[in-house]
Amino acid sequence: MMRLIPLVMALGLATPALAQDTVQGEALFGFYCATCHGNAATGKGPMSPSLVVAPANLTTLATRNAGVFPTTRVVMRIDGRDPLVSHGSTMPVYGDFFEGTDAAIKAETGQPIMTSQPIVDLIAYLESIQEE
Protein backbone atom coordinates (compact mmCIF):
# COMPACT_ATOMS: atom_id res chain seq x y z
CA MET A 1 0.00 0.00 0.00
CA MET A 2 2.83 2.40 0.82
CA ARG A 3 4.19 2.04 -2.72
CA LEU A 4 0.79 2.95 -4.15
CA ILE A 5 0.66 6.39 -2.51
CA PRO A 6 3.71 7.82 -4.37
CA LEU A 7 2.36 6.32 -7.61
CA VAL A 8 -1.04 7.96 -7.11
CA MET A 9 0.62 11.30 -6.40
CA ALA A 10 3.01 10.97 -9.37
CA LEU A 11 0.09 10.31 -11.70
CA GLY A 12 -1.68 13.41 -10.44
CA LEU A 13 -4.57 11.40 -9.04
CA ALA A 14 -4.30 12.90 -5.58
CA THR A 15 -5.94 16.27 -5.09
CA PRO A 16 -4.06 19.04 -3.33
CA ALA A 17 -5.74 19.83 -0.05
CA LEU A 18 -4.89 23.30 1.14
CA ALA A 19 -5.91 24.71 4.48
CA GLN A 20 -9.03 26.81 4.74
CA ASP A 21 -8.39 30.32 6.04
CA THR A 22 -11.59 31.84 7.45
CA VAL A 23 -9.89 35.17 8.20
CA GLN A 24 -8.66 35.46 4.61
CA GLY A 25 -12.13 34.41 3.41
CA GLU A 26 -13.72 37.20 5.45
CA ALA A 27 -11.30 39.72 3.93
CA LEU A 28 -12.09 38.44 0.42
CA PHE A 29 -15.80 38.66 1.15
CA GLY A 30 -15.45 42.27 2.32
CA PHE A 31 -13.51 43.22 -0.79
CA TYR A 32 -15.34 41.27 -3.49
CA CYS A 33 -18.81 40.36 -2.22
CA ALA A 34 -20.08 42.85 0.36
CA THR A 35 -20.91 45.49 -2.25
CA CYS A 36 -23.85 43.35 -3.37
CA HIS A 37 -24.42 40.95 -0.45
CA GLY A 38 -23.75 43.48 2.32
CA ASN A 39 -21.24 43.38 5.17
CA ALA A 40 -23.56 41.06 7.12
CA ALA A 41 -23.97 38.82 4.01
CA THR A 42 -27.75 39.16 4.18
CA GLY A 43 -28.18 40.38 0.59
CA LYS A 44 -28.55 44.05 1.43
CA GLY A 45 -25.37 45.58 0.01
CA PRO A 46 -25.29 49.11 -1.39
CA MET A 47 -25.44 47.82 -4.99
CA SER A 48 -28.35 45.42 -4.37
CA PRO A 49 -31.10 47.85 -5.46
CA SER A 50 -29.54 48.17 -8.92
CA LEU A 51 -29.37 44.43 -9.59
CA VAL A 52 -31.93 42.57 -11.69
CA VAL A 53 -31.71 39.52 -9.39
CA ALA A 54 -31.61 40.31 -5.68
CA PRO A 55 -28.44 39.06 -3.96
CA ALA A 56 -28.98 36.00 -1.79
CA ASN A 57 -28.87 36.04 1.98
CA LEU A 58 -25.67 34.05 2.34
CA THR A 59 -26.19 33.40 6.05
CA THR A 60 -29.09 31.06 5.32
CA LEU A 61 -27.56 28.86 2.60
CA ALA A 62 -27.48 25.77 4.81
CA THR A 63 -30.95 26.43 6.23
CA ARG A 64 -32.39 26.66 2.71
CA ASN A 65 -30.63 23.38 1.83
CA ALA A 66 -32.05 21.14 4.57
CA GLY A 67 -29.27 22.08 6.99
CA VAL A 68 -26.42 21.14 4.64
CA PHE A 69 -24.10 23.84 3.30
CA PRO A 70 -24.38 23.59 -0.53
CA THR A 71 -20.63 23.62 -1.20
CA THR A 72 -20.83 22.44 -4.80
CA ARG A 73 -23.44 25.03 -5.82
CA VAL A 74 -21.60 27.86 -4.05
CA VAL A 75 -18.21 26.96 -5.55
CA MET A 76 -19.70 26.77 -9.04
CA ARG A 77 -21.62 30.02 -8.60
CA ILE A 78 -18.46 31.86 -7.52
CA ASP A 79 -16.15 30.40 -10.18
CA GLY A 80 -18.69 30.84 -12.98
CA ARG A 81 -19.42 27.17 -13.76
CA ASP A 82 -23.02 27.88 -12.66
CA PRO A 83 -23.45 31.43 -13.97
CA LEU A 84 -25.96 33.85 -12.55
CA VAL A 85 -26.72 36.96 -14.55
CA SER A 86 -27.67 39.52 -11.94
CA HIS A 87 -26.73 42.83 -13.49
CA GLY A 88 -26.20 42.30 -17.19
CA SER A 89 -23.11 40.15 -16.77
CA THR A 90 -22.31 36.95 -14.95
CA MET A 91 -21.72 36.92 -11.22
CA PRO A 92 -19.05 37.54 -10.23
CA VAL A 93 -17.85 40.27 -12.56
CA TYR A 94 -14.35 39.82 -11.11
CA GLY A 95 -14.34 36.07 -11.74
CA ASP A 96 -10.78 36.04 -13.08
CA PHE A 97 -9.51 36.47 -9.52
CA PHE A 98 -11.25 33.27 -8.43
CA GLU A 99 -10.11 31.14 -11.39
CA GLY A 100 -7.79 28.22 -10.96
CA THR A 101 -7.64 24.68 -9.71
CA ASP A 102 -4.79 24.78 -7.23
CA ALA A 103 -6.94 23.64 -4.30
CA ALA A 104 -9.61 21.11 -3.45
CA ILE A 105 -12.60 21.31 -1.17
CA LYS A 106 -15.00 18.57 -0.14
CA ALA A 107 -18.45 18.62 -1.65
CA GLU A 108 -21.49 17.67 0.40
CA THR A 109 -21.04 14.13 -0.92
CA GLY A 110 -17.44 13.98 0.34
CA GLN A 111 -16.02 14.08 -3.19
CA PRO A 112 -13.33 16.67 -3.92
CA ILE A 113 -14.08 19.72 -6.05
CA MET A 114 -11.08 21.31 -7.69
CA THR A 115 -11.13 25.07 -7.30
CA SER A 116 -8.89 27.96 -6.31
CA GLN A 117 -7.50 28.77 -2.87
CA PRO A 118 -9.45 32.07 -2.67
CA ILE A 119 -12.70 30.12 -3.15
CA VAL A 120 -11.68 27.59 -0.49
CA ASP A 121 -11.09 30.48 1.93
CA LEU A 122 -14.32 32.23 0.95
CA ILE A 123 -16.30 29.01 1.46
CA ALA A 124 -14.72 28.58 4.90
CA TYR A 125 -15.93 32.06 5.84
CA LEU A 126 -19.42 31.53 4.43
CA GLU A 127 -19.78 28.25 6.32
CA SER A 128 -18.73 30.02 9.52
CA ILE A 129 -21.53 32.61 9.27
CA GLN A 130 -24.44 30.23 8.71
CA GLU A 131 -27.46 30.82 10.94
CA GLU A 132 -28.40 27.91 13.15
94 and 1 in contact (C-beta within 8 Å)? no
47 and 93 in contact (C-beta within 8 Å)? no
The pLDDT assigned to 11 comes to 40
Asked whether residue 8 is assigned to any structural domain, the reply reads no
CATH number, residue 70:
1.10.760
pLDDT exceeds cutoff 80 at 79: yes
Asked whether residue 26 is assigned to any structural domain, the reply reads yes
Of the candidates 60, 51, 53, 31, the residue with the CA atom closest to the CA atom of residue 122: 31
Asked whether residue 4 is assigned to any structural domain, the reply reads no
pLDDT tens column, 85-129? 665 666 667 777 888 889 999 999 999 999 999 999 999 999 999
Asked whether residue 70 is assigned to any structural domain, the reply reads yes
Residue 114 three-state SS = strand
Bin 10: left if φ > 0, else alpha if -120 < ψ < 50, else beta: alpha
**Whole-Å CA distances, 124 to 48, 87, 106:** 24, 26, 11
The pLDDT assigned to 8 comes to 37
Asked whether residue 54 is assigned to any structural domain, the reply reads yes
What's the number of domains the chain is made of? 1
Quote the DSSP letter at residue 90.
Answer: B
Four-residue CA torsion sign, 97, 99, 105, 108 = positive
Asked whether residue 63 is assigned to any structural domain, the reply reads yes
The pLDDT assigned to 34 comes to 96
The pLDDT assigned to 118 comes to 95
Asked whether residue 10 is assigned to any structural domain, the reply reads no
Domain hosting 66: range is: 17-128
Asked whether residue 6 is assigned to any structural domain, the reply reads no
pLDDT tens column, 35-74? 999 999 999 999 999 888 889 999 999 999 999 999 999 9
The pLDDT assigned to 29 comes to 97
84 and 53 in contact (C-beta within 8 Å)? yes
